[in-house]
A = this chain, B = another copy of it.
Amino acid sequence: MRADAQKNLGKIVEAAAEVLAEHGDQAPMALIARRAGVGVGTLYRRFPDRGELLAAVGEHYVRHVTERLARAEREPDAWAALRAFVAWVADPGRGALAGALAEVPEEALAARPEFVRMREEYGRAVARLVARAHAEGRLRPDAGSTEIMTLLKVFTCHPEVPDPGRYLELMLDGLESRRPG
Contact = CB atoms under 8 A, between A and B. Distances in A.
Interface in A129-153: 143, 147, 150-151, 153
A108 interface: no
Interface string A138-179: 000001000100110111001011100001001111110000
B151 A167 contact: yes
A139 to B, nearest CB: 12
A161 B154 CA distance: 8
A160 B157 CA distance: 11
B181 A170 contact: no
Interface of A: 102, 143, 147, 150-151, 153-155, 158, 160-162, 167, 170-175, 181
25 contacts: A102-B160, A143-B170, A147-B167, A147-B170, A150-B161, A150-B162, A150-B167, A151-B167, A153-B160, A154-B154, A154-B155, A154-B158, A154-B161, A154-B167, A158-B158, A170-B171, A170-B174, A170-B175, A171-B171, A171-B174, A172-B174, A173-B174, A174-B174, A174-B175, A181-B181
